[in-house]
Structure 1
Amino acid sequence: MNPPSHGVTLASIYEARARIQGQVARTPLVRSLTLSERFDAEVYLKLENQQPSGAFKLRGATNMIAALMDRDGLEALQRGVTTASTGNHGRAVAFAAARLGVPAVVCLSELVPANKAHAIEALGAEVRRVGRSQDEAFQEVARLVNEQGMTLVPPFDDPLIASGQGTIGVELLEDQPALDRVIVGLSGGGLLGGIGAAVKGIRRGVQVTGVSLSQGAAMWESLQAGQPVDVEEVASLGDSLGGGIGLDNVCTFALVREVMDDHVQVSEGAIARAMVDLLQHEKILVEGAAAVGLAAIDEHGLDIRGQKVALIVSGNGVDLATFDRARSLAGR
């Protein structure tokens, strides 16, 4: 049997798990009493907001940097690593690089909130603001790679990154083997693709639901078009789900098409209400992208009655000003 073109397999996910063990948190899967009663289901929250870097991105970044070190040695990374990010991946790369003593430059567009930029700088990485889209930020990344010999750690479109994120799926089924459905925020596709490859590789019948923003959702538009397309980015409470997927996408577009069963978009109002609900009832303060699973169930009336459902609470990169904006939009 030929390996898949995207390069992400259950074997590559288990290899990632071995590499990152002890470097990232094995986050809890918590049953929400409030949401379970509200939706007549067993609703679980996978708390990736408890990663030491604040988000799931630490898994993929750690896996890729560790794999490169195993292959090329630490000396090959001494010129540093670089990436473009909507915030969380940059923080993960900064965290992993600092632990290894490797320089890091993270390129951000002007749309990335200031609190996320400050969090990256606090870990010792250099932040460069470039343009108003992730694609424009990647132009500076390309220059750093080509002219200064830095090593690219892409935010999503690489089998090592997606396999690292896929370790979440392994943990989900270890903690809840009878899981029926997982609802995942979808942007570049590394998170959903990795989780989908893991859960379907272990238990084929698990339903994988993707959730995208209602505007500026590049993966949504690309799937409709049947090929990667450019989409103008817009400011959003779910800013971590912004950014393009790359017209030369080599991994995650095909991976998402293979593992995702259904796909919805959520409005700013639904994201705001979900953020407020998670703080009020679950006592967790999260960024908009981490709340889209709940937003999707609520806004679209997804029928999860009687199911065991996991929502991926992907990160905690939110400041109080942004949360106050969400609370105002939610009318709470």
Structure 2
Amino acid sequence: MKEPITLGDVLSARKTISGHVIHTPLRPSASLTDRIGSPVWLKCEQHQYTGSFKLRGAANAVLKLSPEQKQKGVVGVSTGNYGRALAYAARNAGVRAVICMSELVPKNKVDGIRAQGAEICISGTSQDEAQKEVDRLVAEQGMTMLPPFDHADIIAGQGTLGLEVLEQLPEANTLLVPLSGGGLLAGVALTAKSINPAIRVVGISMERGCAMITSLQEGKPTAVKELPTLADSLGGGIGENNQYTFDMCADLADDFVLVNEAQIADGIRAAYHDDQQVIEGSGAVGIAALRAGLIDNPGTTVVLTTGCNIDMSLHKRIIGGEDVDLMAE
């Protein structure tokens, strides 16, 4: 039986990754505050090394490997940001890394991972198909699989983001957390509620293929079709044999909200024009939900803006007001 993850694990992770990650800023958003009538702050994790929060979990997991595991290398599946983070953490530790991705991962994210020195494997049209190549490398070469979310060290590393938020703003009432496989939501909710049980944690995802919310509605891990979306980093399944994040999201999250593509584009646009931030679709879903009026009585709110790794030509089209629909392209 798996050991539960605790606040102590998160505190340990913070010590492990100290010096390997940035303590990211918490910035007030005047435009969102005016819009909803309550204080809104942006936790700017897009300023993290590698451009997303994923480095926290990846660094914690890589640094905790045994010497033998480091010698044989690490392998993982990714929709882009985790692969970049794992490649960065592995390179800094002198460890070989192979990142497996589906054909749906945008080229800019594949190029970003390759630039960090990782070996790239493109396989199939879903994260689940890419996972088969990961399994092969584990079986044939003895590499260590470090999954993007469903791993105790990954979750504990992501939980350090929750520690920072509550140290920076202890009076926070609501945290808006992008939701994919649930590693970030699980870690942040565990940490925040361990410190302040009254805090509200809301998972935000996209309408086009959110596997976690579908799985929670079905009562078990459930496969969903991956579709093109502006929130591409939130794509992928949660794994049929999910060990941690399914139960933790079910137990710890207070609510879940879905946003559509137009709302995500609006969030990207508002982040740029109102807050001077370049944020990718997956990192803008909290802004999108607030602007669409989907969060009831939020109070003092922290929006986790989790990544900036958007194709800049796409970003230019969106902030210019174009009605971008990736399904039609």
What's the TM-score once normalised by structure 2's chain length? 0.95
Contact kept, 8 Å, 2:35 with 2:291, in 1: the verdict is: no
Q: Counterpart in 2 of 1:310?
A: 302
Q: What CA distance in whole angstroms lies between the structure 2 residues aligned with 1:278 and 1:57?
A: 20
CA positional deviation for 1:137: 0.5
| Aligned residues: CA RMSD | 1.5
Q: Deviations over 1:124-144 (max 9, x none)?
A: 111111000000000000001
Contact kept, 8 Å, 2:79 with 2:105, in 1: the verdict is: yes
CA positional deviation for 1:319: 1.4
CA positional deviation for 1:299: 2.2
Q: What CA distance in whole angstroms lies between the structure 1 residues aligned with 2:75 and 2:294?
A: 41
Paired residue for 1:38, among 29, 35, 38? 35
Matched, 1:320 2:287: no
Q: Counterpart in 2 of 1:193?
A: 186
Identity among equivalent pairs (%): 44
Q: For 2:150, what is the secondary structure of its paired residue?
A: coil
| Residues 261-280 of structure 1 aligned to structure 2 (within 5 Å) | 261-280=254-273
Paired residue for 1:329, among 298, 323, 326? 323
1:199 maps to a residue whose letter is A
Matched, 1:76 2:69: yes
Q: What CA distance in whole angstroms lies between the structure 1 residues aligned with 2:125 and 2:286?
A: 27
Paired residue for 1:288, among 261, 267, 281? 281
Give ranges in structure 1 of 5+ residues lacking alignment. none
| Residues 168-187 of structure 1 aligned to structure 2 (within 5 Å) | 168-187=161-180
Q: Deviations over 1:148-203 (max 9, x none)?
A: 11111110001111110000111111011111000011110000110000000000
Q: What CA distance in whole angstroms lies between the structure 2 residues aligned with 1:66 and 1:234?
A: 34
CA positional deviation for 1:52: 1.1
CA positional deviation for 1:323: 1.4
Which deviates more, 226-235 or 291-300?
291-300
Matched, 1:128 2:121: yes
1:181 maps to a residue whose letter is T
1:183 maps to a residue whose letter is L
Q: Counterpart in 2 of 1:23?
A: 20
Q: Counterpart in 1 of 2:51?
A: 54
| Residues 145-160 of structure 1 aligned to structure 2 (within 5 Å) | 145-160=138-153
Matched, 1:119 2:116: no
Tell me the number of residue pairs that the alignment of Structure 1 and Structure 2 aligns.
Answer: 323
Q: For 1:53, what is the secondary structure of its paired residue?
A: helix
Q: What CA distance in whole angstroms lies between the structure 2 residues aligned with 1:313 and 1:153?
A: 24
Q: For 2:64, what is the secondary structure of its paired residue?
A: helix
Q: What CA distance in whole angstroms lies between the structure 1 residues aligned with 2:266 and 2:144?
A: 40
